Structure 1
Amino acid sequence: MAPNHLVIVCGHAIWLGGRKNGWEEAEWLIEGYKQGETPTFIEHIKAGVQVLTNFHSGPTRKETPLSEARSYFNLAVANLFFGLLPSSITGDTLLSSGRILLEERALDSYYNILFSLTLFWHTHHTWPQHLTIVSHDFKRTRLVDGHCAAIGFPLDKISYIGINPPGIDSIGLGGQGEKGEVMKKGVQLTLGLWKEDPHGVGEELAGKRRARNCWGVHQRLFETEEERVRSGVEVRVLGDGSEALVEGGRRPWAG
C-alpha cells in the first residue's frame, strides 16, 4: 500500500554537528533572537520521529550550504533516533525507502508545505490524504488557517503538533518580557502580510525568499515540464523564475 500520510517537521535552524549531538547551543547556527530555543528544535525532531517524517527547509545561511532539513536528519541519526525506533533501523534505510524525505528547497513556511506536498508526490506517485505539521504552537494559525487553506489542502485532514520555546504561551506569547513582546509583534506582522498575499507572490514576501536564497536553490514546483503535466497541478511562473500555484487552479491533493 502506498503511503498516504505526510508528516512535516518545520526547520528553524541548522545543526552543524558536534560531540554533544545538538544538546549544546554552540553547535547550532541560529539567529540571536533564537538563543535558548535549540532544545525546542530537538523536541520538534523527536515529535517527527515518533510518527516518522519529512524534514524540510532549505539552505538559508551563507555560512554553510547545509540545509535545515538535512541538519535535523543528521541530529536525529546522531541521537540514534532518541530510542524511538528499533535499533535495526538506520538513517540510510529510512531515506532509501522514502519513509523519511528531506525537502531542501523551501525558503519560507508556505513553501515548506507546498514543496513537501510535491516531494511526497514525486517520491510516492500519489498525494497524501492526511497531513501532520510539527512546529511552534504559536505558528498554528499561519500554517494551517493561512498556508494550508491557501494551498487547498483539506483542513479536516490536518493534525498539528505545536511545541513552543520555554516561557512562550500559545496565544499571548507572554512570559518572557521584552522577547515575548517582540515575538508577538512579529507574529502579528507576519500574519498580516500573508493575509494580504496568501501565496507569497508579492514583492515583500517573494523578496524575502530571494534574500534567503544565498545558494541559488531553484524554486520550481517540479523538476521537469513532463512531471508538472503528470501532476495535474496548475502552475504559473513568476518574474524571478520561481513558480507558484494558479489562483483557483486545480489542486489534485484536495480530492
Structure 2
Amino acid sequence: MVAGHSIYTSSDCGKIEKEDSWYLESYQKNPGQAATFVKHIEEGIEIVDRDEDALLLFSGGETRKDAGPRSEAQSYWAVADYKGWFGKEESVKWRALTEEHARDSFENLLFSVCRFRELTGTYPQNITVVSYDFKEDRFANLHRSAIRFPESRFFYAGTPATSNAKEAALKGEELVRMQFSRDPYGCRGSLYHKKLKRDPFHRSIPYPNGCPEIESLFRYCGPTPYPGALPWP
C-alpha cells in the first residue's frame, strides 16, 4: 500500500515533479516535495514487481476541497501510468488499483485491508506500507497494533522527506503519534475532526461492505486494541 499525501491538479502530466502541479498544504510547500510523492509511487511499483503474488494499492481519498473531486489514489495511479510504471508496466499495471476513501494514515491501512478483501476475496498474508521514513513508528507500531496484524508479516518501506522540511516534519509527526497513542482508531477529538475536514465532498464510505469479517473492527472506538476475533492469526 502506498499512502497518498497529495492530489495532482495539473492538466499536464509532464510536470509531475513540479510543486505547483500538486495541491500542497502550507507545510508541504518545500522544494523537492513533489519528487518525494513520485518516489513513493516508484518504490511501491518496485516492491510489487519483485513479488508476482502482490497487489499494489494507492490509498487516499478526495481530501482537499480546493483540489476538486479528485482523489489522492487516482492522482498516484495517473502519475504511475504517465511514467510508464517505471519500466514495469507489463508486470505491475494490471495489479495496481486504488483505495479512494482514506482520510488519514490509520484509514490508509485499515481501508486498504478491506479493499484487498473486496478485490481478492481474501485478506493479505503480508502487508508492506510505503510512506515517509519518519512515519514508520506510526504505521508499523501504532496502526499495525490497532488492527492486531502480526508484526512478522508487516513490512515498511520509508523514503526521506525533503531535507529542508525534515525538522518540521519530525515535530509534526511527534504530535500525531502522541494523538494516535491516546486514540488509536482516530475516532475521537482532534483526530476525528481532522478526518471530517478531509472529507469536503461528503463521500459515503463503503466499508466495511466488502470485508464483513472485520465489521466490528470498523465500528470499534476505544483507547485499547480491539478485543474481538480477526481473520488473521
* TM-score using structure 2 length: 0.87
Residue 194 of structure 1 corresponds to 180
Q: Tell me if structure 1 keeps the 8 A contact 2:61–2:101.
A: yes
2:18 is aligned with 1:24: yes
Q: Tell me if structure 2 keeps the 8 A contact 1:59–1:213.
A: yes
Q: 2:76 aligns with which of 72, 81, 88?
A: 72
Q: Which has the higher helix share?
A: 2
Q: 1:130 aligns with which of 106, 126, 130?
A: 126
Q: Distance in 2 between matches of 1:217 and 1:139?
A: 27
1:85 shift after superposition:
3.1
Aligned residues: 218
What SS is found at the alignment partner of 1:198?
A: coil
Q: Distance in 1 between matches of 2:45 and 2:92?
A: 12
Residue 145 of structure 1 corresponds to 141
Q: Which runs of 4+ in 1 moved over 4 A?
A: none
Q: Tell me if structure 1 keeps the 8 A contact 2:60–2:102.
A: yes
Instruction: Kindly report the root-mean-square deviation, in angstroms, between the aligned alpha carbons of the 2 structures.
Output: 1.9
Q: Tell me if structure 2 keeps the 8 A contact 1:58–1:67.
A: yes
2:227 is aligned with 1:233: no
Q: Distance in 2 between matches of 1:31 and 1:43?
A: 19
Residue 56 of structure 1 corresponds to 59
Residue 219 of structure 2 corresponds to 244
Identity of aligned residues (%): 32
**1:202-228 residue CA offsets vs partner (Å, 9 max, x unmatched):** 1221111011110112235323xxx55
1:111 shift after superposition:
0.6
Matches within 5 A, 1:1-255: 8-17=1-10, 18-34=12-28, 35-36=30-31, 37-52=33-48, 53-63=56-66, 64-86=68-90, 91=93, 94=94, 99-167=95-163, 176=164, 179-223=165-209, 227=210, 231-235=212-216, 243-245=218-220, 247-252=226-231, 254-255=232-233
Change (3 A) 1:209 1:83: same
Residue 173 of structure 1 corresponds to none
1:70 shift after superposition:
0.3
Q: Distance in 2 between matches of 1:77 and 1:181?
A: 33
The amino acid that maps onto 2:86 is F
1:66 shift after superposition:
0.5
Q: Tell me if structure 2 keeps the 8 A contact 1:233–1:249.
A: no
Q: Tell me if structure 1 keeps the 8 A contact 2:140–2:155.
A: no
Residue 172 of structure 1 corresponds to none
The amino acid that maps onto 1:83 is G
Q: Tell me if structure 2 keeps the 8 A contact 1:70–1:104.
A: yes
Q: Distance in 2 between matches of 1:185 and 1:90?
A: 36
Q: Distance in 1 between matches of 2:4 and 2:23?
A: 12
Larger deviation, residues 12-21 vs 54-63: 12-21
Unaligned runs of 5+ in 1: 1-7, 168-175, 237-242
